[in-house]
Structure 1
Amino acid sequence: MPNFRLLTLNLRYKTALYFSLGLLGMIISFLFISRYFFLYSLDELERTEISHANQQAHAVIDMMVNQQEESSYDWAHWDETYYLLKDGDIDAYRDRNLYIESIDTLALDLMVFVTLEGKILDSLTREQDKQQSHEFVKQVISLPEVKDHILNANNTLDIHRDSMAGLFKINQHVWSVSLTPVRNSEGDQNSPGWLVWGRDLNLRFPGDFSSILTANNQLVELSAAAENESLAGKVNKNGNNITLWSVLTNVSNQPIALLKTDSQRPHYEKGNTLFLYLFATIGVVATAIASSTYWVFKNRVAIRFNHFSQGIRQLASQYHLEDLRSVTSDELEVATKLVEKLSENTSITKTQLKDSMQKLGALYRSSSLGMLIVIERNIVDINQQALDMLKYQRDDIIDRPLDSLCASDTEECHVDMMFKMVNDGTTMFEAQMLDSKQQVIDCSLEATLVQHNGCNALMLLIHDLREKKQQAQLIQELTDYDPISGFCNRVIILSALNDLIRQSPNSFSFVYISCENIQQISQLYGHRVFDEAIKYISASMKTVLGEYQIGRISESEFIVLVPDCSHSNNQQVVDATNKLLDRLSHKVELSGLLLNLESKAVIIDPAITHEPSEHLLQIARYSASSLPGNQMSEVVVVAEELSSQAQTAMIINRDLELAIKNREIIPYYQPILNTQSGEVIGFEALARWIHPVLGVISPAVFIPIAEQGKLIVELGESILEQACEFLNQLNKTRKQQGLNALNMHVNLSTQHFYHANLTSHLKQALDNNCIEAGQLVIEITESMLMGVEAETIHRINEVKQLGTQLALDDFGTGYASFSSLCSFPLDIVKLDKSYIDQIETNDRAKTLVRNIASMAQELGLTIVAEGVETASQVRKLKVWSIDELQGFYFYKPMPKQDILDQFSSL
Structure 2
Amino acid sequence: MGRAAESQNIGRHILLISDDPADRCLLEGALDELPDSQYDILHIESIEDACQLLSQQSFCTVLIDLDLADTLPVGSLPPALRSLTADLPVIALSNNADPEFAVEAIKHGAQDFLLRSETGHEQLYRVMRYAIERKKTERRLTWLAHFDALTELANRTLFTRRLDRSLLRHHRDKKGPAVVFLDLDGFKEVNDQFGHDAGDGLLKDVAQRLVGCVRASDTVARLGGDEFALLLDDASSFNAVISVAEKALASVAQPYRVVGQHVTISTSIGISMAPGGGETADELLKNADKALYRAKDSGKNTYQIYTDGMHSEMLQRLTLERDLRRALAREEFELFYQPIVDVETQTLLGAEALIRWYPGHGDCVVMPESFIGLAEETNLISSIGEWVFYTACSQAVAWRRAGLPAIRIGINLSARQFRGGGLTRMIRRTLDNVPVNASQIQLELTETMVMRDTLESSYILNELKAQGLKLAIDDFGTGYSSLSYLRDFPVDTLKIDRSFVRDMESNDDDAAITAAIIAMGHRLKKTIVAEGVETPGQLRILAEQGCDQVQGFLYSKPLRANDFAEFLGHHVSGNSPLIPRRLVAR
Tell me the CA shift for residue 886 of structure 1: 0.4
Q: 1:843 and 2:504 equivalent?
A: no
Q: Does 2:413 align with 1:748?
A: yes
> Structure 1 residues 785, 576: closer, same or farther in 2, change over 3 A?
closer
Cα shift at 1:807: 1.8
Q: Which amino acid aligns with 1:728?
A: V
Corresponding residue of 1:365: none
Task: Name the counterpart of 1:511.
Answer: 178
Change (3 A) 1:205 1:882: farther
Q: Is the 8 A contact 1:745 1:777 kept in 2?
A: yes
Query: How far apart, in 2, do the equivalents of 1:824 and 1:493 lie?
Result: 53
2:293 aligned residue: 622
**Which of 458, 464, 467 is the aligned partner of 1:802?**
467
For 1:893, give the aligned amino acid.
P
Quote how far apart the aligned CAs of 1:780 are: 2.2
Work out whether residues 725 and 769 of structure 1, in 8 Å CA contact, stay in contact via their aligned partners in 2. yes
Supply the distance in 1 between the matched residues of 2:384 and 2:216 (Cα, whole angstroms). Answer: 45
Superposed, 1:230-249 pairs within 5 Å as none
Q: 1:640 aligns with which of 285, 288, 308?
A: 308
Any idea what SS the aligned residue of 2:502 has?
helix
Over residues 616-673 of structure 1, what are the superposed CA-to-partner deviations in whole Å (9 max), with x where a residue is unaligned? 35424535767888866xxx53223444444444444555455456654443321212
Structure 1: 5+ residue stretches without partners? 1-52, 54-104, 108-201, 213-477, 500-506, 543-549, 563-570, 588-597
Does 2:238 correspond to 1:574?
Answer: yes
The 1:901/1:638 distance shift into structure 2, 3 A limit, reads same
Task: Summarize the Cα distance change of 1:207–1:705 in structure 2 as closer, same or farther, 3 Å threshold.
Answer: farther
Distance 1:704 1:824 in 2: 26
Matching residue of 1:337: none
Corresponding position: 1:670 with 2:568 = no
Mapped pair 1:721 → 2:390: yes
- The 8 Å contact of residues 343 and 550 in structure 2, kept in 1 or not, is answered as yes
Which residue is equivalent to 1:731?
A: 400
1:822-870 alpha-carbon deviations (Å, 9 max, x no partner)? 4443322222212222331233443443454455456543321110011
Aligned-pair identity (%): 27
Verify: 1:893 aligned to 2:558, yes or no: yes
Alignment of 1:322-361 (within 5 A): none
* 1:109-157 Cα distance to aligned partner (Å, 9 max, x none): xxxxxxxxxxxxxxxxxxxxxxxxxxxxxxxxxxxxxxxxxxxxxxxxx
1:309-328 paired onto structure 2 within 5 Å: none
> TM-score if structure 1 supplies the norm length?
0.36
Equivalent-residue separation in structure 2 for 1:204 and 1:711 (angstroms): 57
RMSD: 5.6
User: CA 1:769/1:540 → structure 2, altered by over 3 Å: closer, same or farther?
Assistant: same
Any conservation in 2 of the 1:682–1:742 contact (CA below 8 Å)? Answer: yes
Name the aligned partner's letter for residue 490 of structure 2. P
Q: How does 1:268-347 map to 2 (within 5 A)?
A: none
Contact 1:604/1:620 (<8 A) preserved: no
Q: Distance in 1 between matches of 2:157 and 2:525?
A: 69
The answer on whether the counterparts of 1:684 and 1:744 sit within 8 Å (CA) in structure 2 is yes
2:155 and 2:421 mapped to 1: Cα distance? 47
Question: How do 1:446-525 residues align onto structure 2 when only pairs under 5 Å count?
Answer: 511-514=178-181
| 705 and 788 in structure 1: CA distance in 2 versus 1, 3 angstrom threshold | closer
Deviations 1:428-466 (A, max 9, x none): xxxxxxxxxxxxxxxxxxxxxxxxxxxxxxxxxxxxxxx
Instruction: For 1:11-90, list aligned pairs within 5 A.
Output: none
- Given candidates 264, 271, 274, the residue that maps to 1:602 is 271
- Structure exhibiting the larger radius of gyration computed from Cα positions: 1
- 1:561 and 1:694 map into 2 onto residues whose CA distance is 50
Equivalent residues of 2:472, 2:495 under 8 A apart: yes
Q: Amino acid of the residue matched to residue 817 of structure 1?
A: S
1:541 aligns with one of 184, 201, 218 = 218
The alignment's TM-score, normalised by the length of structure 2, stands at 0.53
Selected match of 1:209 from 107, 115, 119: 107
**How does 1:287-436 map onto structure 2 within 5 Å?**
none
Deviation at 1:510, TM superposition (A): 6.8
Q: Tell me how far apart the structure 1 counterparts of residues 178 and 568 of structure 2 sit (CA, whole Å).
A: 58
Name the CA shift for 1:834/1:609 in 2 (closer, same or farther; >3 Å): same
**Alignment partner of 1:705 out of 359, 365, 374:** 374
Aligned residues, how many? 402
Match of 1:185 in 2: none
Q: CA deviation at 1:605?
A: 8.5
* Cα deviation, residue 767, structure 1: 3.1
Aligned residue for 2:179, secondary structure, equals strand
Alpha-carbon separation, structure 1, partners of 2:528 and 2:218: 60
The letter of the residue matching 2:238 is: V
The equivalent residue for 1:680 is: 348
- Check the 8 A contact 2:268/2:295 in 1, yes or no: no
State yes or no: 1:876 paired with 2:541. yes
Contact between 1:513 and 1:599, CA under 8 Å: does it hold in 2? no
Alignment partner, residue 830 of structure 1: 495
Contact 1:619 1:647 (C-alpha < 8 Å) held by counterparts: no
State how far apart, in whole Å, the 2-side matches of 1:676 and 1:526 are: 55
Letter in 2 for 1:849: T
- Partner SS state of residue 424, structure 2: helix
Q: Distance in 2 between matches of 1:522 and 1:820?
A: 26
CA offset digits 1:740-798 (Å, max 9, x no partner): 22221012234434555333321222232211242111122223443676765554343
User: Aligned-pair distance for 1:684?
Assistant: 0.6
Q: Does 1:862 align with 2:541?
A: no
Cα distance in 1 for partners of 2:200, 2:466 equals 43
Greater RCO (Cα-Cα under 8 Å, separation 6 or more): 2
Question: By how many angstroms is 1:887 displaced?
Answer: 0.7
CA shift for structure 1 position 709: 4.1
**Matched-pair contact (CA < 8 Å) for 2:270–2:292:** no
> What's the CA shift string for 1:705-725, capped at 9, x where partnerless?
344444444443232122112
- Residues 694 and 861 (structure 1), Cα distance of their counterparts in 2 relative to 1, 3 Å cut: same
SS of corresponding position for 1:741: coil
